Amino acid sequence: MSRQTTSVGSSCLDLWREKNDRLVRQAKVAQNSDLTLRRRQLAQDALEGLRGLLHSLQGLPAAVPVLPLELTVICNFIILRASLAQGFTEDQVQDIQRGLERVLETQEQRGPRLEQGLRELWDSALRASCLLPELLSALHRLAGLQAALWLSADRLGDLALLLETLNDSQSGASEDLLLLLKTWSPPAEELDAPLTLQDAQGLKDVLLTAFAYRRGQRTLQSITWTCWPCCWIARSQGSPHPPPLQGPVCLRCFWKQR
């Protein structure tokens, strides 16, 4: 009887994985399509398929053999939804939280632990992954999405603590987010792993680019926008509120000066 049960469970897992892989391929076809309406319809259909698959997986008790696929489906669903919406939403935070709760359920860590904030849930889930190495790759992928969400929300303190945990460094010695991002080394994806729209290494590369852009943007915002010649011209033209004389760099005539 136990062999039959195992066989049925394995058969369902294979079917769920095949559906995930098919939907990921469909989403990638949509990305490469030249027809805008056709592309959006394919992507929307793939999104609804992933939503249904996730509903099926989470309708069952959390189980370690299924969790790598479940976490992968969560990642694919969030990535595709963010792509279609051109940004993150509060629902995606809840999707991540639910995935972490499911990991803890397999360790019988229910009740008060599930009332913790996301940062504490991440600490607990990553500690649990030490006992469940088969979840590590999927958790790092999900952590990449969490990092992107916190970066977009400017929650840099939470992001730094998450990266320290991922890097297995609790000393807090480095406050340089760029260094923490570069130090993060996601585990290699297994060859037979379920298909993903973006692996953890790809998410890391996106985060590095986004953080560098953010830092550059903040630097530009700190530069004086008007040089003294432009300010003098503004004053001579009777401007009631000429820009302040605060520095040598001017984006109004910067390219001419260069």
DSSP secondary structure, 207-229, as one string: HHHHHHHHHHHHHHHTS-S--HH
> Quick one: pLDDT at residue 234?
52
239 lies in the same domain as 191: no
Distance CA 67, CA 100 (A): 10
> Quick one: pLDDT at residue 65?
92
38 lies in the same domain as 126: yes
> Quick one: pLDDT at residue 222?
56
**Count of domains forming the chain:** 2
218 lies in the same domain as 231: no
- Is residue 99 within 8 A of residue 127, CB to CB? The reply is no
> Quick one: pLDDT at residue 254?
41
Torsion over CA: 153, 159, 160, 161 (sign): positive
- Is residue 68 within 8 A of residue 137, CB to CB? The reply is yes
196 lies in the same domain as 233: no
> Quick one: pLDDT at residue 204?
94
Distance CA 226, CA 254 (A): 9
172 lies in the same domain as 239: no
93 lies in the same domain as 109: yes
> Quick one: pLDDT at residue 40?
85
Distance CA 39, CA 188 (A): 31
In the predicted model, residues of the chain with pLDDT beneath 70 are 1-9, 33-35, 109-116, 169-175, 219-258
101 lies in the same domain as 130: yes
> Quick one: pLDDT at residue 38?
81
> Quick one: pLDDT at residue 176?
84
110 lies in the same domain as 151: yes
For 121, other C-beta atoms within 10 Å of its C-beta total 22
Global confidence as pTM: 0.79
80 lies in the same domain as 204: yes
Report the Cα 248 to chain-centroid distance in Å: 39
108 lies in the same domain as 129: yes
> Quick one: pLDDT at residue 88?
84
Domain housing 229: 223-258
> Quick one: pLDDT at residue 108?
72
- Give the whole-number percent of the chain exceeding pLDDT 70: 74
Report the Cα 166 to chain-centroid distance in Å: 14
215 lies in the same domain as 230: no
15 lies in the same domain as 49: yes
